[in-house]
Chains A and B, each alone.
Chain A
Amino acid sequence: MMTTLSPSSRAATRGWSDITIRNLFVIPTVAFLIIFNVFPLLYSLGFSFTDFRASSKAPVNFVGLKNYTDILADPVIWRSFSTTLWYVIVSVTGQFVVGFGLALLLNRPIPGKGFLTTLLLLPMMLSPVVVGLFWKLIYDPSWGILNYALGLGKTAWLTDANLALYAVAITDIWMWSPFVMLLSLAGLSAVPKHLYEAASIDRASKLYTFFRITLPLVAPILLIAVIFRTMEAFKTFDIAFVMTGQPQAELISSRLYKMAFAQWQTGPASALAYIVLIMVLCITNIYVKYLNKAKER
């Protein structure tokens, strides 16, 4: 006891108890959360039942559920929703296929593996606005490198009603596949090597081994990757906002932005934000249920 003080008693000699230290960490965090998350969340819930406009000094009237019923009856918003849903499916599936594929390729001893992995992670470390801007250059119809490289003539990726959504999705896939790859790689390298050896001794084919051993073992972590990417894809704003103004490709968050800050319909915009929140919660809940099942198996 003379020389080896336990951490708590060492802190005590400096006058800080464990509780003080804990509070020092926790209180600022909780304060920040309340000021910047919890308060706006509740405040905007209040707005969603009013005709409040942040741009005017007109008196605020309580309108009940009118904002919600208006939004749910608006075909423009419904189109935005279905566009967003399709965007989420395309983008997340793409990220999953590319990311998991890369992870499978990287999950073996290859020279320069660490360097290669770092290199592949670069896209997701960039700012979305920067990514959006330079993909805009890549997609440029007259001198963009994509049309030049693929010999597609003057394809107008970002202004074509049918292509704009996919163009944004491709950018998103490029940016976020590394994330799926990173999580998959962690999952794959956690599969014990002796299981593969046992399977090879048991004369299982590569494909059989993949479906019977690899996939079930990495499924939970893959699902986590998909949950994260779905939530993010649902909220996609920055990339799309920078890249295209195509109304056919308008995602729900762009619509929300326009309502809130171009048209200053603060009340209805708050209502829409809540509808989006509830949808995202529902979708993630479904995933979480699958995740628990996958873990149980």
Chain B
Amino acid sequence: MAHIQLKGISKSFGNHVALRDLDLEIADGEFFVLLGQTGAGKTTTLRLVAGLEKPSTGQIFIDGQDVGDWGAAERDVALVLQQYSLYPRYTVRENLEFPLKSPIRKSSPDEIKAQVDRVAKTLRIEHLLDRKVDRLSGGEMQRVSIGRAIVRRPRVFLMDEPLSALDAKLREALRTELKNLQVNLGATFLFVTHDQVEAMAMGDKIGVLNNGQLVQTGTPHEIYNNPINTFVARAVGSPPMNLMDGQLEQGTAVTAAGQRLPLQGREPFAGRALTFGIRPEDLVLEGGAPGAARVHDIENHGVAKIITLRAGDNLLQATVPSQTSLKIDEDVRFSWNPEKVVLFDGKSGINLRHAG
């Protein structure tokens, strides 16, 4: 198990800058999720740690050792990819044995068998051991792929969207399994995903990447409740945080759309251009509330309903209990939980609490 540190990492491919001055630290035994859109630089970061790419500048440390000149084999990492990368034409057992049979390791046949059986049991793929990998379903393939990663107890697990190609049910099931596995192994995980639900559900820590830059790192709680800027506010959470431009006037938030909502205790920020951020679950619909809006759309999710409201030019989303009965185009009144309002600078979009 290992501690990973990236210092001032930049990586360009030709003219394209994939990563810009990235600093990242992953503690021993931590489940670290890198979250970002396609092209944000997640996979590049992962490949740099794996040793499949060399950084243009910067250093990578594993357990305090600079591994810049080390190849993938010496770094002792395991990699699970979205496309599984199982060795075709071999059985599940042969695939699991592969990392153990490499000449660098030289394990005895008994050891290898014991290891493979242990892993197969952990991942519940014992019944598949003698099957050719071409005849497995997506979920089974990904299990085998994870099995091949854990079979040799590497120092670090690197996972590149391992669950993205699976259907929703299976994804949820494997998500839980993977998290349990990480806890049981006490292993250091670097997990890359574009799915913020995965990030929130699995990560001990999340790093949000945008355009090759690390925007914010923190626990899921920190990222969710105190996003560093409007980008993170929109990137994390489903539905994302509502953002409204406006100003603060004597304990009242006045939005550009003319809504007036109570907001006490934030006097220092009065008189400047602001963006108010509020999570959908902190928007309340109630008669006599100060805000006026019209129901634009209703999505029933079973456990809750997500209501899209049109308030002036703003589309706001609110999560309400599923028994709430509303009709499209109905006029409603809304308010918010003032304590949960996050203030961003109206121009830069930076969270004013972080700005100090």
Interface residues of A (CB under 8 A from B): 192, 194-195, 197-205, 208, 212-213, 216-217, 297
Residue of A nearest to B103 (CB): A205
B87 at the interface (CB under 8 A from A): yes
Tell me which residues across on chain A come within 8 A of B312, comparing CB atoms.
Answer: none
CB distance from B326 to the nearest CB of A (A): 42
Task: Say which residue of B79, B101, B103, B104 sits within 8 Å of A198 (CB atoms).
Answer: B79
- Asked if A203 and B87 make an inter-chain contact with CB atoms under 8 angstroms apart, the answer reads no
- Render B68-108 as a binary contact track against A, CB cut-off 8 A, 1 for contact: 00011100111101010101110000000011011111000
User: Are A194 and B83 closer than 8 Å at their CB atoms?
Assistant: yes
Whether A194 contacts B85 by the Cβ 8 Å rule is: yes
Find out whether the CB atom of B98 lies under 8 angstroms from the CB atom of A204: yes
Please, how many angstroms separate the alpha-carbon atoms of A194 and B72 in the complex?
13
Do the beta carbons of B89 and A297 come within 8 Å of each other? yes
Residues of chain B lying within 8 A (CB to CB) of residue A202: 98-99, 102, 148, 152
Chain B positions within 8 Å of A217 at CB level: 88-89
CB distance from A115 to the nearest CB of B (A): 22
Which residue of the partner chain A has the closest CB to B104? A203
- Interface range on chain B (Cβ under 8 Å from partner): 20 to 34
Whether B79 lies near A197 (C-beta < 8 A) is yes
Q: Which residues of chain A are near B89, meaning CB under 8 Å?
A: 216-217, 297
A-B contact count (CB 8 A): 60
Judge whether B17 is part of the interface by a CB distance below 8 angstroms.
Answer: no
Whole-angstrom distance between the Cβ of B117 and the nearest chain A Cβ: 19
Q: Chain B: which residue is nearest A197 at the CB level? A: B52
Query: Please, could you name 8 A-B residue pairs with CB atoms under 8 Å apart, sorted by A?
Result: A194-B85, A195-B85, A197-B79, A198-B148, A203-B73, A204-B73, A204-B99, A205-B102
Q: Does B116 sit at the interface, judged by CB under 8 A?
A: no
Q: A201 and B77: CB pair below 8 A? A: yes
A167 to B207, CA, bound (A): 67
Cα–Cα distance between A289 and B152 once the two chains are bound (Å): 38
Q: Chain B CB within 10 Å — which of A194, A213, A216 has the most?
A: A194
Known: A197-B52, A216-B89, A217-B89. A203 touches B83 (CB 8 A): no
Within 8 Å by CB of B105, from A200, A203, A216, A297, lies A203
CA distance A199 to B71 in the complex (A): 12
B102:A201 contact, CB within 8 angstroms: no
Distance between A185 CB and nearest chain B CB, rounded to angstroms: 19
B146 within 8 A of A: no
Q: How far is the CA of A212 from the CA of B83 in the complex (A)?
A: 19
Is B141 an interface residue, CB under 8 A from the partner?
no
Q: Which residue of B lies closest to A194 (CB)?
A: B85
Interface string of B24-45 (1 = CB under 8 A from A): 0000000000000000000000
B81: chain A residues within 8 A (beta carbon): 194, 198
Report how far A212 CA is from B105 CA in the complex, Å.
16
Interchain nearest-CB distance for B92 vs A (Å): 15
Question: In the assembly, what is the distance between CA of A191 and CA of B131, in Å?
Answer: 22
B78 — nearest CB in chain A belongs to which residue? A201
**Nearest residue, chain B, Cβ from A207:** B103
Q: What's the Cα separation between A204 and B102 when bound, in Å?
A: 5
B50 near A: Cβ within 8 Å? yes
Contacts of A192 in B (CB 8 A): 83, 85
CA gap between A201 and B99 in the complex, in Å? 9
Since A198-B87, A201-B77 are in contact, a sample of 5 more A-B pairs with Cβ atoms closer than 8 Å, ordered by chain A residue number, is A194-B85, A201-B73, A203-B73, A203-B99, A205-B104
Q: How far is B98's CA from A208's CA once the two chains are assembled, in angstroms?
A: 10
B116 to chain A, nearest CB (A): 14
Min CB gap A227→B, angstroms: 20
Q: Which of A195, A200, A201, A205 contacts B87 (CB 8 A)?
A: A195
Task: Give A197 Cβ to nearest chain B Cβ, in Å.
Answer: 6
Instruction: Quote the shortest CB–CB distance from B77 to chain A (angstroms).
Output: 7
Q: Are A208 and B102 in contact (CB under 8 A)?
A: yes
Q: How far is the CB of A83 from chain B (nearest CB, A)?
A: 38
Closest 3 CB pairs of A and B: A203-B73, A202-B99, A198-B85
List the B side residues contacting A199 at CB < 8 Å.
87, 98
From A199, A202, A212, A216, name the one whose CB has the most chain B CB atoms within 10 angstroms.
A202
